[in-house]
Amino acid sequence: MDRLTAERRIAELREQIEYHNRLYYVEDRPEITDQEYDQLMRELQDLEDLYPDLITPDSPTQRVGGEPLPYFTKVEHKVPMLSLGNAFTEQDVRDFDRRVRQGVGGQPVRYVCELKIDGLAISLRYENGLFVQGATRGDGTTGEDITQNLKTIRSIPLRLRKPLTIEVRGEAFMPKQAFEKLNQERAAKGEPLFANPRNSAAGSLRQLDPKIAASRSLDTFIYGIGELEGETVSSHSEGLALLEQLGFKVNPERRVFDDIEELIRFIDSWAQKRPTLPYEIDGMVIKVDSYAQQQELGFTAKSPRWAVAYKFPAEEAITILEGIEVSVGRTGAVTPTALLKPVSLAGTTVKRASLHNEEIIREKGLLLGDHVVVKKAGDIIPEIVAVLPERRTGAERPFHMPTHCPECGSKLIRFEEEVALRCINPDCPALIREGIIHFVSRPAMNIEGLGEKVVAQLYEQGLIASVADLYYLHQRRDELLNLERMGEKSVDNLLQAIEASKQNSLERLIFGLGIRLVGAKAARVLAEEFGHLDALREATREQLMAIDEIGPKMADSILAYFALPQVAELIERLRAAGVNFSYKGVRVEAGDHLPLAGKTVVLTGTLSTMTRQEAEQKIAQLGGKTTGSVSKKTDLLIAGEKAGSKLEKAEKLGIEVIDEAAFLRLLGQ
């Protein structure tokens, strides 16, 4: 076959194959057999082998292949891929509707309600109709380039039906049947099983070898437009219709509503029907249809105000309590954990559940061997919600908490008015290890690269026995290089992070020391009040009690901590290493000009732009102090979403109330 004839035939074959790809993978109505499809692909492959210069990036033969990548490069999203706010109840949906209608000045509002696919969020970019880049959501601003892996998904078109430049958003997922098949194959090979389809989809798309991704039978649904050139749409529903016209696979189970009560009934119907779907969903997504109204409503720092994700209630499952193990935390508290017969729950395999303390075991009447009802709290933390005594056979047996520490063998004690048993041996390996993990954590000294596994490895190898030892690791660099997964760069980065933490403000150090009853907020109050660690160490009980936030128990705990000789030795070693002991934040005494100088502030409700801890820090920077309850001494209440009784009390007392937007203006944002 001459070149010109081959070029024409290649064009015909590509058009036919993409047509049949769409029928099979998008519309689910194939017209030819698999054998006939394979014959078309083989003919195309043979012609491209004969004339390799005719191969183009959008050829169906380019979906599978390519050499493994050395790593994924970063991709910056031109339009951020923000996450959605959550709704958990019908009332939450009604509250969302109320906020939307208020936000558009009472105009009529139309919503689009869609299934929330449980997969991996992706971004696809096309230039002049040609697929040029695919990326993960990442942190919403920056993702990873997984173009080669996404090309292996047959429902993603390599060339659009119109030569548009467009960036679209969607969800990559693994169908239930493909997930079950994959785990069967892994079990046969003795490989660990994937926990759920969502994890398997994410793991497949983050394989450096595209051939592995190609073997996983992934699929997609496209649900939105990020950027668009050369075409105009005025609503979300119009955008979805355009996506279908361009050749994307768009979920058909969507409806448009003018009435919020009808929308809620639609959600309820899918809560019942979700097990019948061939893929996993974990809720429904509600979006304002009009783009003009979306623009008017705008965004918070984290999510759009014109959309919300309704999360289905946590699933429950029945399994067997096979055992209970206990672990020791940094404060010495001994915590029991339920060991369960593995059971599938909310898309994951659950094997463990928290029991918190001995009293919970007693209250629930748990016996080893009991049938129990398990659910995921907020779809995250498994917990036992009930025991089924009617299923007992007589073989069940009671569980008894240990009398001695499972780590060091010391006798456990229970302080007055406390439920938890505690190990008070300061040399207990668990206390030391967990104390170091707390010290390096983000709210404390925030030392990057020191996760739980690295800390455990350093401790087990004898490189650290206290938090002070961290600041002398530079003297043992050669030993660090011998540790598992610790190369030159990793060690250098770790040592640099440790060195940088020396400059932290005092409140981080106080919190990191792990003084019993002293949380992050109390640590900041103490740092601001005393200014230097030495001044805090010398403080009397009266001086501590004079601070509003410090009660008698906390004061006694602080005094007892600094009276320990091993603590004095620890502090001197930290001082010798050059760790900062001074408070670097804003002092109210020196900042009377600050907008909240000397004011008592209460936070209530949920803030969308920052965590509660971050808000408290910013209030302190403005000269104010936060308390947990509203009283006549309260000067200001900052009310986020779902503000409750504190807001009502503040209004009754005539206390000034501002919302989150006003708080941000106060911060100069």
Q: Any idea which residue has 């080669």 for tokens?
A: 148
- If asked whether residues 137 and 278 sit together in one domain, one would say yes
- For residue 424, being part of any structural domain is answered with no
Low-confidence residues of the chain, pLDDT below 70?
A: 25-28, 34, 63-71, 190-192, 195, 301, 314, 346-347, 377-381, 586-593, 669
Q: How far is CA 240 from the centre of its chain?
A: 28
Give me 553's structure tokens: 């128990």
Domain residues for the domain of 351 are 316-391
Q: Check if the beta carbon of residue 190 is closer than 8 Å to that of residue 183.
A: no
| Predicted local distance difference test score (pLDDT) of residue 587 | 59
* Alpha carbon distance 561, 510 (integer Å): 11
- For residue 16, being part of any structural domain is answered with yes
Per-residue DSSP letters for 33-80?
Answer: -HHHHHHHHHHHHHHHHHSGGG--TTSGGGSS--PPPSSPPEEE-SS-
Q: How many domains does the chain have?
A: 6
Q: Check if the beta carbon of residue 221 is closer than 8 Å to that of residue 25.
A: no
- If asked whether residues 133 and 243 sit together in one domain, one would say yes
CATH of the domain at 655: 3.40.50.10190
Q: Of 501, 527, 547, which marks where a domain is finished?
A: 501
Q: Residue 8 belongs to what H/E stretch?
A: helix 3-21
Reported as half-sphere exposure (CB side, CA atoms, 13 A), residue 295 has a value of 5
pTM summary value: 0.52
So which residues are the catalytic ones?
A: 116
Task: For residue 410, give the DSSP letter.
Answer: P
Q: How far is CA 195 from CA 165, 200, 347, in A?
A: 38, 8, 7
Q: Check if the beta carbon of residue 532 is closer than 8 Å to that of residue 588.
A: no
Q: What distance, in Å, lies between the first and last C-alpha atoms of the chain?
A: 68
- If asked whether residues 496 and 518 sit together in one domain, one would say no
* Alpha carbon distance 132, 124 (integer Å): 8
- For residue 413, being part of any structural domain is answered with no
Q: How far is CA 533 from the centre of its chain?
A: 35
- For residue 439, being part of any structural domain is answered with yes
Give me 538's structure tokens: 């010398």
* Three-class secondary structure assignment of 334-397: EEEEEEEEEEEECCEEEEEEECCCHHHHHHHCCCECCEEEEEEECCCEEEEEEECHHHCCCCCE
CATH of the domain at 373: 2.40.50.140
Per-residue DSSP letters for 620-666?
Answer: HHTT-EEESS--TT--EEEE-BT--HHHHHHHHHT-EEEEHHHHHHH
Q: Any idea which residue has 């519309």 for tokens?
A: 27
Give me 378's structure tokens: 């907020």
* Alpha carbon distance 362, 395 (integer Å): 18
- If asked whether residues 172 and 257 sit together in one domain, one would say yes
Q: Check if the beta carbon of residue 447 is closer than 8 Å to that of residue 503.
A: no
- For residue 408, being part of any structural domain is answered with no
Task: Report the DSSP pairing between strands 316-328 and 307-311.
Answer: unpaired
Rg of the Cα atoms in the chain = 30
Reported as half-sphere exposure (CB side, CA atoms, 13 A), residue 504 has a value of 27
| Predicted local distance difference test score (pLDDT) of residue 590 | 46
* Alpha carbon distance 54, 48 (integer Å): 6
Nearest partner of 639 among 630, 651, 647, judged by Cα: 647
* Alpha carbon distance 49, 63 (integer Å): 16
Helix %, strand %, coil % for the chain, to 5? 40, 20, 40
- Under the phi-then-psi rule, with left for phi > 0, alpha for psi from -120 to 50, and beta for the rest, what region is 298? left
- For residue 396, being part of any structural domain is answered with no
CATH of the domain at 443: 1.10.150.20
Q: Which amino acid is at 140?
A: G
- If asked whether residues 203 and 347 sit together in one domain, one would say no
Cβ partners under 8 Å of residue 12, min gap 6: none
Angle between helices 565-577 and 552-563 (to 10 degrees): 70
- If asked whether residues 553 and 570 sit together in one domain, one would say yes
Residue 339, classified by CB atoms within 10 Å of its CB into exposed (0-12), middle (13-18) or buried (19+), is middle
Cβ partners under 8 Å of residue 446, min gap 6: 440, 501, 504, 508
- If asked whether residues 105 and 129 sit together in one domain, one would say yes
- If asked whether residues 264 and 174 sit together in one domain, one would say yes
Q: Of 577, 610, 635, which marks where a domain is finished?
A: 577
- If asked whether residues 283 and 329 sit together in one domain, one would say no
Per-residue DSSP letters for 127-185?
Answer: ETTEEEEEEE-TTSSEEEB-HHHHTT-TTS-SB-SS--EEEEEEEEE--HHHHHHHHHH
Number of continuous H segments (helices) and E segments (strands) in the chain: 24, 20
Per-residue DSSP letters for 238-266?
Answer: HHHHHHHHHT----S-EEEES-HHHHHHH
Q: Of 444, 467, 501, which marks where a domain is finished?
A: 501
User: What length is written for the chain?
Assistant: 669
- If asked whether residues 548 and 467 sit together in one domain, one would say no
CATH of the domain at 181: 3.30.470.30
Cβ partners under 8 Å of residue 235, min gap 6: 110, 289, 290, 291
* Alpha carbon distance 563, 18 (integer Å): 76
CATH of the domain at 38: 1.10.287.610
Q: Check if the beta carbon of residue 444 is closer than 8 Å to that of residue 511.
A: yes
- Mean residue pLDDT of the chain comes to 88
* Alpha carbon distance 516, 332 (integer Å): 10
Q: Check if the beta carbon of residue 509 is closer than 8 Å to that of residue 581.
A: yes
3-state secondary structure of 572: helix
- Can you list the alpha helix ranges (DSSP code H) found in 546-644? 552-563, 565-577, 612-621
- If asked whether residues 176 and 284 sit together in one domain, one would say yes
- For residue 134, being part of any structural domain is answered with yes
- If asked whether residues 331 and 463 sit together in one domain, one would say no
- For residue 657, being part of any structural domain is answered with yes
Q: Which amino acid is at 635?
A: D
Nearest partner of 221 among 148, 168, 181, judged by Cα: 168
Q: Any idea which residue has 């230097």 for tokens?
A: 532
Nearest partner of 332 among 87, 143, 516, 584, judged by Cα: 516
Q: Check if the beta carbon of residue 240 is closer than 8 Å to that of residue 250.
A: yes
